[in-house]
Amino acid sequence: MNLRDQISLLLDTDEGDHNDENIKGYNEAVNEILALFDRKRTFNELAEQTYPGVTFDTALPQQWVNRMADRGFDVRGHFVTLYPTSSMFGFYMAPVTNEGIEMAARVASMHG
CA distances from 32 to 3, 7, 48, 58, 92 (A): 13, 12, 24, 20, 31
The tens digit of pLDDT for each residue in 11-62 reads: 565 555 455 665 666 667 766 766 666 666 678 888 988 889 888 999 999 9
Sign of CA pseudo-dihedral 25, 26, 31, 34: positive
C-alpha to C-alpha distance for 4 and 31, rounded to whole angstroms: 10
What pLDDT sits at residue 79? 94
Q: What confidence score (pLDDT) does residue 110 get?
A: 79
pTM for the model stands at 0.61
